[in-house]
Amino acid sequence: MFSLNKYNINKSSKKIILPFQILVGTHHKTGTIWLFTIFQKIADLYGLNIHHNLDPRDSNSFDILFNDQGAFNLELIKKPYKGIHIIRDPRDIIVSSAFYHQKSDEAWLHIPRAEFNGMTYQEKIKSLGSLDEQILFEMENSSKKTIFNILNWNYNNENFFEVKYENLIEDTSMNIFREIFCFLGFPQIIISEVIDIAYSNSLFSGQVSNTEHVRSGKTKQYKKYFKKIHKEKFQNIFGDALIKLGFEKSPTKAT
């Protein structure tokens, strides 16, 4: 039974020393804010130095390095490291992004762009006449870059724990989270505490109130929105990506 404590805390005297530097790699719409919140609160509790999207050459003294584009220059990391890398079904990334990019206040969405005749990304996607068009637009633009970044990740690096968003968002037993924290080298004596933090900051705990980045945490949203035109376009752009990433087992199911 989890304690379900709230962790509204400042820097603590519970300083720990980790055996590895920790790398946390996410991608757009793969639970980035969720995981950053968890690791930030762990860092606060145990006096760990956490950085977000920092080039390692600028500071190799970090305990936790978080990158929301799944991009680490590992040659610049001089100390032993362990990491977690999270991916999500590309079809759900597209659907989630198509909704999110119409309302988000992220700065990049509000910069006028020449390719859109001076419109911002948000203005452009909102100007399209239907959700079907918006999904196609997203598939050919921001989400395209995200999905290719996911495909280009090195999945043979044994220093990373690979996990799917779909599995983690349903990990109410916290078994996967336990595996992750053990893999990353957290001392056994604090494993139950870091699991409590992860639980209380996950949607399934019912304790998360700050959800402006979350429209729906559900999986397989694409089944409601993907039509034949979307399936065909996805196949043309990404080929057998769903099979490579383990979200489908055969080309027939992928389409």
Clarify whether residues 131 and 222 are in a common domain: yes
Query: Domain of 80?
Result: 21-88+154-205
Looking at this protein, which amino acid is placed at residue 240? D
Q: Looking at 2-6, 47-51, 228-232, which range is the least confident one?
A: 2-6
- Number of folded domains that form the chain: 2
Q: How many residues does the chain have?
A: 255
Is 90 exceeded by the pLDDT of residue 11?
Answer: no
pLDDT tens per residue, range 25-57? 999 999 999 999 999 999 999 999 999 877 666
In a domain, 159, yes or no: yes
Q: What is the pTM of this model?
A: 0.88
Residue 15 lies in a domain: no
Q: Are residues 61 and 104 in the same domain?
A: no
The model's confidence at residue 3, banded by pLDDT at 50, 70 and 90, is very low
**68 with 105, same domain?**
no
Average pLDDT over residues 228-254: 91
Average pLDDT over residues 7-15: 51
Q: Is residue 53 part of a domain?
A: yes
Give the pLDDT of residue 155. 97
The CB density around residue 242, as the number of other CB atoms within 10 Å, is 21
Q: Do the domain assignments include residue 229?
A: yes
Residue 6 lies in a domain: no
What's the CATH code of the domain at 171? 3.40.50.300
Clarify whether residues 159 and 145 are in a common domain.
no
| Tens of pLDDT, residues 169-198 | 999 999 999 999 999 999 999 999 999 999
Q: Lowest mean pLDDT of 62-66, 76-80, 88-92, 161-165, name the range.
A: 76-80
Label residue 58 exposed, middle or buried (CB < 10 Å: 0-12, 13-18, 19+): exposed
Summarised one tens digit per residue, pLDDT across range 13-22 is: 578 999 999 9
Q: What is the C-alpha to C-alpha distance for residues 157 and 174, in angstroms, rounded to an integer?
A: 24
